[in-house]
Chain A
Amino acid sequence: DAGVTQSPTHLIKTRGQQVTLRCSPKSGHDTVSWYQQALGQGPQFIFQYYEEEERQRGNFPDRFSGHQYPNYSSELNVNALLLGDSALYLCASSFYLGRIAKNIQYFGAGTRLSVL
């Protein structure tokens, strides 16, 4: 059973460019969350997708957008890249059970984005 897979593993972009990161959730999972982990920091929540809609969003600008497909895979798009966007981007998947949920989020290995 494959876990959470992310692609690419590494990416180098220049300021102003746009980037798309991809995530395939663990089998059986229907919810995908994205996190940004800057060097030396803990992950910060960007947003969460469920049923192809953004369900929750953290404190990130509109330059960060996402999408979820019917097969539950997801993309994170970042426009007008800034140097400060350089980070490890982590995708996590889970199975949403509503208010009684006690499930956990499983993380992928991440995509390391460097903005020059």
Chain B
Amino acid sequence: AQSVTQLGSHVSVSEGALVLLRCNYSSSVPPYLFWYVQYPNQGLQLLLKYTSAATLVKGINGFEAEFKKSETSFHLTKPSAHMSDAAEYFCAVSEEGGSEKLVFGKGTKLTVNP
């Protein structure tokens, strides 16, 4: 069965600092991996996706993630945090193509301090 573990339910950074949100997955087949962001009282917005092409994936708003098969990780990074990045971030795994069910982690709430 697939599963996702997000290390750190809360992460706090200063504006301009590096953002690193950790995600480890478990899957019996090559996975498709996603990062979604959720702003307060809103649905989920896709940040980026990994679908077995390049291992370094660039997304929206300056975020990127690197797929490391040996570490079963898909950590999300952004070189310089902005106040508008404050939100909850979810890592998700799917076995096929993204149209199959998504299995989400519990989420990491990012706080950006001025």
Q: Is B45 an interface residue (CB 8 A)?
A: yes
B71: A residues at CB distance < 8 A: none
A–B Cβ pairs within 8 angstroms, 30 of them: A31-B99, A33-B101, A33-B102, A40-B106, A42-B106, A42-B107, A43-B102, A45-B101, A45-B102, A48-B101, A56-B101, A92-B102, A94-B98, A95-B99, A100-B97, A101-B96, A101-B99, A102-B51, A103-B97, A103-B98, A104-B46, A104-B49, A105-B98, A105-B99, A106-B46, A107-B36, A107-B44, A109-B42, A109-B43, A110-B43
Report A-chain residues with C-beta under 8 Å of the C-beta of B99.
31, 94-97, 101, 103, 105
Task: Tell yes or no: B103 within 8 A of A by CB.
Answer: yes
CB distance from B80 to the nearest CB of A (A): 26
Residue of A nearest to B90 (CB): A42
A87 contacts partner chain B, Cβ-Cβ < 8 Å:
no
Tally of A interface residues using CB under 8 Å: 31
Q: Is the interface of A mostly helix, strand, loop or mixed?
A: loop
A101 CA / B96 CA spacing, docked (Å):
7
Chain B: residues with CB nearer than 8 A to chain A? Answer: 4, 32, 34, 36, 41-46, 49, 51, 90, 92, 96-107
Kindly provide the distance from the CB of A6 to the nearest chain B CB, expressed in whole angstroms.
8
Contact among B43, B46, B98, B104 for A42, CB-based, below 8 A: B104
Closest 6 CB pairs of A and B: A101-B97, A42-B104, A107-B43, A45-B101, A107-B44, A109-B43
- Cα–Cα, bound, A39→B99 (Å): 25
Q: Report whether A4 and B43 are in contact in the complex, using a CB–CB cutoff of 8 Å.
A: yes
Q: Is the CB of B98 within 8 A of A90?
A: no
Q: Contact between B100 and A56 (Cβ–Cβ < 8 Å)?
A: yes
Q: How far is the CB of A62 from chain B (nearest CB, A)?
A: 18
Separation of A107 and B47 alpha carbons in the complex (Å): 12
Chain A residue contacts of B103, Cβ below 8 A: 45
How far is B98's CA from A97's CA once the two chains are assembled, in angstroms? 10
Q: Are A104 and B90 in contact (CB under 8 A)?
A: no
Residue picked from B99, B102, B104, most chain A C-beta under 10 Å: B99
Task: Closest B residue to A58 by CB, please name it.
Answer: B101
Q: Using known A-B contacts A90-B44, A109-B42, determine if residue A41 contacts B107 with beta carbons closer than 8 Å.
A: yes
